[in-house]
Each structure stands twice: as C-alpha cells, then as structure tokens.
C-alpha cells in the first residue's frame, strides 16, 4: 500500500515524494530510495581493531552496489528529556531513583541509510537544471529498479553479517515521520520557509549549514576511521573514538549530520581524469596552481591504478538550528571548533547553495545534490567521514546502571538474554576494586535491586558490612549474626524430605573434617572413610539408587534412618559403632582422634553451637545476609560458620526451582583462606548455573585468588562470565596480572584505564558518579557509570563514621528507615543540619 503525504502548503512545495511503498520511496524526480535504520556499536566500546572492522564491513557492503548509486547516511541527533517512564516505582528507593533522574537531558541518535537510484545516472550537473519547486509528478517504474533492489539486498546482507552492524528496513510510517520532522525541525506544525540573504529559517528556527565540499578543506590530507582520544588515554594505554565524534554525540545540540557518497562510472571518471591530467600538464608552466593541480591529479590516478580502488564523489554537511539568533552564533562558534578538531575548515553555505543542499538532505532526495557540492575521493577514504558509534542502549530489564555520556539510567541484563543467546555460558561474576574503590557500593546497588526482584532469592556472605538493606526490607530479608553463647539455629546434619544428595554427603565429609582437623586437609583415605561412615549413619545402603532427580553432579537418594539428624547423634553413632567402623576402614582411619575432637561440639564447650532440631531454611525470605566481622579471625568459628552457610545453600536455594538464585561473598579474600569455603565456592561456580543461579565474589585485588591454588583458581575463573572492574589507576602494577587472569583484551584495558570518577561534583561536572568496566563473556565490554539517588546513597555508604551517624538517626526516629534516611540526607549529604539537632 502506498502512503501519500498530506498537501499542507509549505510541505507540498518541498515534498519531492510521490509515494512510499514499504521502505521504498519514489520521488517526483523519478529517483528511487530504499531506506534502512542502522544500529551501530555503542560509543566508547571499540578499540582500533573494531573501528577497522566496521570500516571494512561498510566498504564490503558498498562495493557490491552498481555504478550510479547514491548513498545517503543521515544521523539525527536530538536533545530529549528523560521522563523515567521505563523505571520501576513500586518501592521507596525505586520511586526515589525515578524522581532523581526525571528531567535529565540527553542526546538521542537515529542513523538512517538510504540507497538511491537516480533517474539521471549522475548527480544534477548544475543548479540551473534543478527547480526546488518542481511540479513534475512522475513515478519510477518497478521494472527499472528491480535489479537495483537486488543489489541493495546484497549490500544489506553484508551489513547484517557484520558482528558490529545491523540494518532494519524502515516502515512507511517511520519514513513519513522522518521526512516531516526534518521539514518542521521537530516542531508540531510546519512553519514559514524563509531564505533571503543571511536569513535562513523555518518557522521560529534559524538554520545554519556547514559542509565539506572540497578535499582542500581537509588540512592535513590524511584520514583515519578513528583517532586517539587524548582525554581518555593515558601514558600506558590508548583510547580511540571515531573520527567524526565531534560532529556526532559530542555536539550537545539538535543537529543532523549528512554523509553522501555517489559511486561514479569508473571507466568514464578515469578517462575524464586522464584528460584533465593532460590538459593540466600542458599548462603546468602557466601558473603554480596548475602545476599543483596536475601533480595532485597524477598522484590520484597512480593510486587508482596501483590499489584498484573505487572512485566516488562525496559530500558531508551539518545542519543545526536555534530559535535565538544570538544562541545560533554561539553554537556556530562551537561547531567551527568541532570541525577544527577534525582538521577541517568548514564551508558556510550561503543563500546561493543552501536551499539545494537543504532539499537534497531530506530522505529520498540525495540524488538532487548538485555535483558542484561534491569532490572526488576513494570509497575507503570517504567512509572515514561516517559516524560509526551510537549512544548507550538499554535492555528491557536487568540491573540499573547509567550511560557514560549523560548518566541516563540503563537496564543491563546480566542474567537472562545473554545466557539464553549464549553470549555468556554462566551468570557468575567477580567485582574487583582496590580498598575504598567502591566495590561494596556497587554490590549493594546490585543486591538491593535483586531484593526488589519478585523472583529473586539471594544469599550474601558479608564480612564487616552493615544491615541497612535488611532494615529497609524487613519482611523479605534476614540479617544473621553470630552472638556469643547463642546457638546458630542451624543443624548441618538435618536431612529434608528423607532425601540426601551426593553434594550433601560431600559437604558433611568436609564439615566433619573441619571440626576434626581445623586448618588441615583430609587425606584421600580419610575422605573415603568418612563417606562410608556417613552412608552408614543415614542407612543409604551402598547408595542403592532410588532416583528423585538424575543430575550427574548431584544425585538425590532416599534415606532410611532419617531420625539420625544432629551432630550429637552422629557423635554417639561413631562411639557406639567404633569397632565395626575400624574394621570396615581397614584400620586406616584414626577414629579415636575423630571422637576426641568431636566431643567438644557434641557435649563439651561448643555443644550449644548447633541446634538438634529442624534448622531454619529461610525459604520465606528473599535475601539472607550473614555478618561475620565479629568472628572473622576466630580459627574455629569462622570456618564453621562458612560451612554452615554452604548447608543453607543446599537446603534452601536448591529447593526453589522457580526463582533466580544468587550467592554473593563480599570481602571474599578473607573467606578464601578457609579450605571449606574454597571447596564450596568451587562447587557452586561449576554447578549453580543448572539451578538458574549465579555466584559472585568481591575482592580488592586479583592476586587475592592466588591463595586458592592453581587448580581451584582455574575452576573458579573458568566459570566466571561477568567481570565488574573498578578504578585501577592508583594500582597500575596490578593491571597486567588482572588482564591475564580475567582474559581482558588490550581494548578492555584501555577502557579500564580511561575510567574517571566524579565523587565530588563541581559546576563543570555537576553529576556524582563512579565508573566501572563491565565485561560480559569474551567480547562484550563497556564502561558504565553508577549514579544513585540520595536515599540510595544513604543505604549504600559503608564508612564507619557515617554508619554511626545513620544508626543514631535510626534510633532517634524509633527504628523507622525512611525518616532516618531523610535526616541522614540533611546531615551527611546536603549538610543542611547537624547531628546535634537530633537529640536522643
């Protein structure tokens, strides 16, 4: 079905469209344009090899196009106001976040590529033959363009085979909307068109057009598809951006950047160049200019023959506007500076040529560009003028972070889509930051959002943190802290549903070994003997299979003696059956030593440590946090506590089939010193993906993992698809080790070293944020920012002094979190009140 645009007076004058059919425009000049939206890579995510690759992909796509094709790439940049409509607002912190970012200004970017088959097989020869108010009303026949459409399909196929690019056909409505938006400059109505002398405007908007129409405007004559970004590079790393970045997202005003390539008839243009060369050669003595032109022409011809390159005509222009003349002058000065960064002296289009360029810029009209506005170039060089980056993209759901340009919120999916598409093979992650580098702040932001996720179930092993998250969500969370003289309310020997798994047997073997030989490894004989004793204790007869679930790593079996479910009963069992056990273990097992060391936990000084009944499984809770700071240096209690947490994992997380599970260890370097916890983490990293879960650890430096030993380190790092790496500029010596251990590319390292945090906002940079590198899988890496609303800041801050202030305000407000948060904002963030204003 064809759509004919409405005939408003001004629109009819400029509208050269006869009809729109799908993504094909047929205009009144008998030109045909096929239109696509191009999805580009996100900005600041590419190194020099990726820029070279995207350049090569565009080059291959355009090489298949027939001579006479006009390519028009249009990049539309529009200031927009973030409205927070895509953010959740179900909780106090979610609502605070939505309000915090509402009204944030950011630049949108739309990249449109149109392939144009001109009715005349060259650009219009001069201005006189082009009537801007043409009344000609002919429509090109589909027979004439069938071959052209096939070539365009081949070109698009090449683009879509790229790992960095994607082309999607525009719809009829999208084409019409783009045409109308450009005619009205994004206004709701079509304004009067005025072009007289220096006055060029539509409605209330005054317009400027700067163009590149001559290769002499390029001062140094050398072009690359990317350039060194000196602001983000360091002495030890190089960070690259696209050559045209100054005219793209770096230009923070409404503008449209147009790039035209006309694929010449190669035979004709070479003949013309040879004639020009002879003519200039015969007159080279007449003037210095002729000699220079002749030399340039010969060099160009020599290069064409030598490299077999494709000759094209090209043109670029930048359209920008303002409803205030003085502001337009200021913008013009800035634009001149942007061009200067590219070593270009822009041509300021006057009233003689701007109407033609303005008309040719509109979708479908690229072939109307006068040939006088173009210059000869090589196809591969002309592609250097293409924009090849776009702004950050948000997933439909995930963890909320921010982009690197304006801190607009983005959902980053690190759980569902990347796993389903095999971008990552597991969801496990590591957070690495030097002391004070923000790893706890980042992890709390992530964990808080997990608590608010209705299908999430999280366990946190925390060393030296606080319980503000649990106080914020008391119904869904539990803060578990060891207090001297009180039982842990856990029973490692409890068997649920008369079932036991191979994983549970392995856990009990390690747990008993820990109580028996604190700090020492069990021998193979001791492990085998304990396995036999545990099987006998529960009466799992030779593991006779009665499968509930057949998983190669964790089979489930029935238990006959399910009343044997506590440490005292296990202790009594081995005492009463000592002779039989010694006989069955062939005298290779020191049972007397085991009995002696278990006594203090069964009936001695630690007998109150564990309960003997059914333990708490926390199945009604979404988030359980274990505080270990007060026993982190205890040689017995700390490793025991770690093993108990592992039992919680098996008894609670594994049983919830319909939830997303996460096991997170903060300050993991303290935990990794304990053998039992290392084995637990190793097991979880290898198997938790089968239960729709993830394991995360936070460490200060990558060398913290050395204590694991090579085999354990390899098992954990080999099953870790997600890396969150914060600022390492103050510990550059760690970066080479970090790169090797986490398989970071050179481009990843350059991104990492480009991090610039802004924890103390200024008038120049008023946004407070930290930056970090997120790497998903083997190739997807980007720098993200974390900016949070003030109530979230009150929850995430972990400084001891500030925590004391918060707890004082919490007590003052009778343990009500929201009033405490508001008062904390006044005292610690806004500094509008003193803590002494609140008397307890």
Q: How many CB atoms lie within 10 A of CB 570?
A: 22
Cα torsion through 33, 124, 69, 241, rounded to 10:
-90
Residue with tokens 């993992």: 705
Quick one: average pLDDT of 267-296? 52
Looking only at the bridges linking them, the beta strands covering 347-348 and 105-117 are: unpaired
Predicted pLDDT at 281: 47
Note the pLDDT tens digit of each residue in 321-370: 999 999 999 999 999 999 999 999 999 998 778 888 998 999 999 998 98
Predicted pLDDT at 564: 78
Residue with tokens 């028009």: 72
Q: Residue 280 above 80 pLDDT?
A: no
Q: Residue 126 above 80 pLDDT?
A: no
Quick one: average pLDDT of 2-8? 46
Quick one: average pLDDT of 411-425? 95
Q: Which residue has the higher pLDDT, 750 or 15?
A: 750
Local structure of 60: helix, strand or coil? helix
How does residue 264 score in pLDDT terms, banded at 50, 70 and 90?
A: confident
Q: Residue 58 above 60 pLDDT?
A: yes
Predicted pLDDT at 32: 92
CA–CA gap between residue 533 and residue 545 (Å, rounded): 18
Predicted pLDDT at 130: 44
Predicted pLDDT at 619: 73
Quick one: average pLDDT of 162-187? 93
**Tokens of residue 323, six digits:** 């409803």
Predicted pLDDT at 134: 38
- The distance of Cα 568 from the centroid of its chain, to the nearest Å, equals 52
Predicted pLDDT at 125: 43
CA–CA gap between residue 837 and residue 63 (Å, rounded): 73
How does residue 278 score in pLDDT terms, banded at 50, 70 and 90?
A: very low
Q: Residue 802 above 50 pLDDT?
A: yes
Helix crossing, 502-516 with 675-687: angle to 10°? 170
Quick one: average pLDDT of 554-573? 85
Q: Residue 302 above 60 pLDDT?
A: no
**Average pLDDT score over the chain:** 85
**Tokens of residue 703, six digits:** 């060398």
How does residue 282 score in pLDDT terms, banded at 50, 70 and 90?
A: very low
Cα torsion through 806, 94, 104, 755, rounded to 10:
70
Cβ contact 390:250 at 8 Å: no
Predicted pLDDT at 740: 94
801-810 own/partner pairs: CB under 8 Å, 24+ apart: 802/828, 803/466, 805/835, 806/468, 808/835, 808/838, 808/840, 809/835, 809/838, 810/471
Cβ contact 208:328 at 8 Å: yes
How does residue 617 score in pLDDT terms, banded at 50, 70 and 90?
A: low
Residues in the chain: 840
CA–CA gap between residue 626 and residue 634 (Å, rounded): 16
Question: What residues pair up with 25 in beta bridges, in sequence order?
Answer: 20, 33
Question: What residues pair up with 712 in beta bridges, in sequence order?
Answer: none
Q: Residue 289 above 50 pLDDT?
A: no
Quick one: average pLDDT of 224-248? 90
Task: Please state which of the ranges 358-372, 502-516, 614-628 shows the lowest mean pLDDT.
Answer: 614-628
**Tokens of residue 283, six digits:** 């007159």
CA–CA gap between residue 381 and residue 367 (Å, rounded): 21
Q: Which residues of 41-191 form beta strands (DSSP E)? A: 70-81, 105-117, 166-169
Predicted pLDDT at 283: 40
* Closest by CA position to 661, among listed 692, 687, 682, 686: 692
Local structure of 437: helix, strand or coil? coil
Quick one: average pLDDT of 504-514? 87
Q: Which residue has the higher pLDDT, 128 or 420?
A: 420
Q: Residue 399 above 90 pLDDT?
A: yes
Predicted pLDDT at 817: 97
CA–CA gap between residue 303 and residue 209 (Å, rounded): 33
**Tokens of residue 113, six digits:** 């590529």
How does residue 786 score in pLDDT terms, banded at 50, 70 and 90?
A: very high
- The distance of Cα 583 from the centroid of its chain, to the nearest Å, equals 61
Predicted pLDDT at 267: 75
Predicted pLDDT at 777: 93
Predicted pLDDT at 257: 98
CA–CA gap between residue 383 and residue 27 (Å, rounded): 26
CA–CA gap between residue 478 and residue 469 (Å, rounded): 10
Predicted pLDDT at 184: 87
* Closest by CA position to 809, among listed 825, 832, 789, 790: 825
CA–CA gap between residue 376 and residue 277 (Å, rounded): 14
The segment with the largest mean pLDDT, out of 163-167, 307-311, 543-547, is 163-167
Q: How many CB atoms lie within 10 A of CB 170?
A: 23
Residue with tokens 């919120």: 409
How does residue 550 score in pLDDT terms, banded at 50, 70 and 90?
A: very low
- 3-state helix vs strand vs coil in the chain, percent to 5: 40, 20, 40
Note the pLDDT tens digit of each residue in 26-39: 888 888 999 999 99
Quick one: average pLDDT of 156-168? 97
Note the pLDDT tens digit of each residue in 451-507: 999 888 888 877 667 899 999 999 999 888 877 777 777 788 888 778 888 878 888
Note the pLDDT tens digit of each residue in 752-777: 999 999 988 887 788 899 999 999 99
Report pTM.
0.86
Predicted pLDDT at 549: 46
Note the pLDDT tens digit of each residue in 325-337: 999 999 999 999 9
Predicted pLDDT at 290: 47
Q: Which residue has the higher pLDDT, 687 or 204?
A: 204
């Amino acid at each position: 079905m064809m759509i004919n645009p409405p005939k408003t007076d001004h629109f009819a004058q400029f509208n050269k469209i006869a009809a729109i059919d799908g993504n094909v425009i047929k205009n009144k000049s008998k030109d045909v344009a096929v239109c696509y939206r191009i999805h580009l890579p996100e900005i600041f995510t590419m190194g020099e090899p990726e820029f070279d690759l995207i350049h090569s992909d565009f080059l291959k796509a355009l090489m298949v196009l027939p001579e006479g094709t006009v390519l028009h790439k249009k990049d539309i940049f529009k200031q927009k106001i973030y409205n927070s409509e895509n953010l959740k607002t179900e909780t106090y912190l979610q609502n605070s976040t939505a309000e915090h970012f509402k009204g944030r200004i950011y630049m949108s970017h739309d990249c449109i590529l149109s392939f144009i088959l001109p009715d005349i097989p060259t650009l219009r020869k001069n201005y006189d033959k082009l009537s801007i108010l043409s009344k000609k009303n002919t429509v090109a026949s589909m027979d004439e363009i069938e071959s052209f459409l096939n070539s365009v399909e081949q070109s698009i196929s090449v683009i879509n085979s790229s790992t960095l690019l994607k082309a999607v056909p525009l719809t009829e409505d999208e084409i019409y909307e783009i045409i109308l938006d450009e005619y009205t400059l994004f206004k709701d109505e079509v304004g009067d068109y005025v072009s007289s002398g220096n006055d060029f405007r539509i409605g209330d908007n005054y317009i400027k057009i700067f163009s590149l129409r001559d290769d002499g405007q390029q001062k140094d004559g050398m072009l690359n598809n990317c350039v060194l970004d000196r602001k983000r590079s360091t002495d030890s790393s190089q960070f690259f951006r696209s050559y045209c970045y100054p005219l793209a997202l770096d230009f923070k005003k409404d503008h449209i950047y147009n790039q035209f390539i006309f694929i010449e008839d190669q035979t004709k243009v070479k003949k013309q160049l040879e004639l020009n060369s002879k003519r200039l050669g015969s007159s080279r003595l007449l003037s210095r200019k002729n000699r220079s032109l002749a030399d340039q022409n010969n060099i160009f011809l020599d290069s064409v023959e030598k490299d077999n390159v494709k000759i094209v005509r090209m043109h670029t222009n930048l359209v920008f506007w303002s409803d205030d003349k003085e502001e337009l002058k200021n913008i013009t000065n800035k634009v001149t500076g942007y061009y200067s960064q590219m070593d270009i002296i822009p041509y300021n289009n006057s009233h003689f040529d701007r109407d033609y360029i303005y008309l040719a810029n509109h979708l479908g009209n690229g072939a109307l560009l006068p040939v006088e506005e173009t210059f000869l170039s090589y196809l591969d060089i002309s592609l250097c003028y293409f924009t090849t980056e776009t702004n950050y993209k948000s997933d439909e759901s995930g963890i909320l972070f921010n982009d690197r340009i304006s801190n607009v919120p983005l959902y980053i999916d690190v759980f569902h889509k990347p796993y389903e598409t095999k971008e990552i093979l597991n969801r496990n992650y590591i957070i690495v930051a030097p002391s004070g580098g923000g790893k706890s702040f980042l992890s709390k932001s992530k964990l808080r959002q997990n608590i608010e996720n209705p299908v999430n179930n999280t366990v946190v092993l925390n060393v030296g943190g606080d319980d503000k998250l649990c106080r914020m969500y008391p119904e869904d969370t539990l803060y578990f802290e060891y207090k001297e003289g009180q039982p842990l309310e856990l029973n490692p020997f409890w068997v649920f549903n008369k079932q036991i798994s191979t994983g549970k047997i392995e856990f009990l073997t390690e747990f008993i070994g820990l109580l028996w030989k604190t700090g020492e490894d069990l021998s193979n004989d001791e492990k085998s003997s304990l396995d036999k004793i545990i099987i006998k204790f529960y009466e799992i007869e030779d593991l006779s299979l009665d499968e509930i679930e057949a998983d190669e790593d964790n089979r489930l079996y029935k238990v006959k003696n399910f009343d044997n479910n506590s440490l005292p009963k296990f202790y009594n069992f081995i005492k009463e059956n000592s002779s039989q056990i010694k006989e069955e273990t062939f005298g290779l097992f020191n049972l007397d030593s085991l009995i002696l060391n278990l006594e203090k936990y069964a009936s001695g000084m630690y007998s109150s440590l564990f309960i003997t009944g059914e333990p708490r499984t926390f199945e009604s809770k979404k988030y359980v946090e274990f505080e270990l700071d007060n026993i982190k240096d205890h040689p017995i209690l700390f490793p025991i506590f770690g093993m108990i947490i592992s039992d919680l994992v098996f008894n609670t997380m594994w049983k919830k089939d319909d939830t997303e599970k996460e096991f997170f260890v903060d300050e993991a370097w303290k935990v990794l010193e304990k053998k039992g916890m290392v084995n637990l983490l190793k097991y979880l990293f290898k198997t938790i993906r089968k239960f729709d879960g993830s394991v995360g650890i936070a460490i200060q430096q990558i060398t913290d993992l050395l204590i694991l030993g090579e085999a354990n380190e390899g098992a954990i790092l080999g099953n870790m698809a997600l890396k969150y790496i914060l600022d390492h500029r103050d510990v550059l010596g760690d970066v080479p080790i970090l790169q090797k251990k986490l398989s970071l590319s050179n481009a990843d390292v350059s991104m990492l070293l480009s991090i610039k945090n802004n924890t103390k906002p200024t008038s120049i940079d008023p946004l407070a944020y930290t930056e970090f590198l997120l790497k998903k899988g083997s190739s997807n890496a980007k720098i993200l920012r974390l900016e949070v609303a003030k109530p979230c800041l009150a929850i995430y801050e972990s400084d001891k002094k500030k925590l004391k202030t918060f707890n004082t305000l919490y007590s003052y407000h009778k343990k009500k979190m929201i009033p405490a948060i508001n008062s904390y904002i006044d005292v610690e963030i806004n500094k509008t009140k003193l803590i002494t204003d609140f008397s307890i």
